[in-house]
Structure 1
Amino acid sequence: MIQRIQTIYLLLAFVITGVLPFIFPLWTLSDGKAFLFMQNQLYVVLFGLSTTLSIVSILSYKKRQNQFVINRLNIILNLILLGLFIYHSLNLSGEMPGVSEKGIGMFLPIFAIVALVLANKAIKKDEDLVKSVDRLR
């Protein structure tokens, strides 16, 4: 399980969606306070679902096809989260009182998507290797 490279990528996606949002703010309010994802219920649910899907994908290491589909769902979920961040940042850009600067937390879904795509690539490679060995028998 842990010796496969896709598990490392999935652990990285888990850390990106499950740990880093607690550390990096999404944006900084004009009064200097950091806006973390916990201050919006929708963001909490989406980050929680993404983290849960990463864990489920790690635990389903024996079923590569299921792992592949779960990762695709997780990519779609992170794209939705990224879209919400972009929508919010465009609506609350510099002219809006309340938001002074965007934080690095807004880019976390991009890093998670990259890790999930790399995991899917490794899963596909693994599946192709298993199919080629089955052909030889």
Structure 2
Amino acid sequence: MIQRIQSIYLLLAGAISGGLTFLVNLWIQAKENTPIYIIDLFTSDSISQKIVPVLFFISAIISIVTIFLFKNRQLQFVLGRLNMLTNLFLLGLLIYLSLTLPGENTVSEKGIGMFLPVIVILLVVLANKAIKKDEDLVKSVDRLR
């Protein structure tokens, strides 16, 4: 059913991955003192910076699609794990990019956007826990028949 708690967790994860990334900055460049948003990474020269927005969108799409697979809880659970792996890779890539930013002689500020994958991972873990609880409930009812 769509009105389950895991749907709320997955909707929040999708909203954070897909929508909130446009509102918060990833980091602020120290030289120009300009904030770098996710949309700015599409115009960069580095392929590793271009992958970041794509991974955010993939994570959002997986979260939204997973909501509507409520009849197939096993696939929902697997897609949740895939979403966690996507966000772990995204987090590692963001950490790598923050450590190798050009012009890091002066310290640049890291934005809240760097920690969004951690929040999404937490929400997907909570959703997977609720999915597993539902699956166990259905299996226990089937045993009684």
Q: What's the TM-score bracket when you normalise by the shorter of the two chains? A: over 0.9
CA contact (8 A) 1:92 1:99 kept: no
CA contact (8 A) 2:17 2:116 kept: yes
**Secondary structure at the residue paired with 1:76?**
helix
> Aligned in 2, Cα 1:97/1:35: closer, same or farther, shift over 3 Å?
farther
CA contact (8 A) 2:2 2:70 kept: no
CA contact (8 A) 1:9 1:115 kept: yes
Deviation at 1:99, TM superposition (A): 6.2
**Which whole-Å CA distance do the structure 2 matches of 1:48 and 1:115 have between them?**
16
Q: 2:99 aligns with which of 90, 98, 111?
A: 90
CA contact (8 A) 2:25 2:36 kept: yes
Code of the aligned partner of 1:53 = I
Deviation at 1:97, TM superposition (A): 5.2
Code of the aligned partner of 1:64 = R
CA contact (8 A) 1:27 1:103 kept: yes
Could you list the runs of 5+ residues in structure 1 that have no partner in the other structure? none
> Alpha carbon RMSD of aligned pairs, Å?
1.6
Q: 2:114 aligns with which of 92, 106, 109?
A: 106
Deviation at 1:39, TM superposition (A): 2.0
* TM-score, length-scaled by structure 2: 0.88
**Which whole-Å CA distance do the structure 2 matches of 1:85 and 1:38 have between them?**
15
CA contact (8 A) 2:52 2:94 kept: no
Q: 1:72 aligns with which of 77, 81, 89?
A: 81
Percent identical across equivalent pairs?
Answer: 58
Could you list the runs of 5+ residues in structure 2 that have no partner in the other structure? 42-49
- Identify the residue that residue 18 of structure 1 maps to in structure 2: 18
- Identify the residue that residue 143 of structure 2 maps to in structure 1: 135
Alignment length, in residue pairs? 136
**Which whole-Å CA distance do the structure 1 matches of 2:38 and 2:71 have between them?**
33
Code of the aligned partner of 1:133 = V
Deviates more, 1:95-104 or 1:64-73: 95-104
CA contact (8 A) 1:10 1:116 kept: yes
Deviation at 1:34, TM superposition (A): 1.0
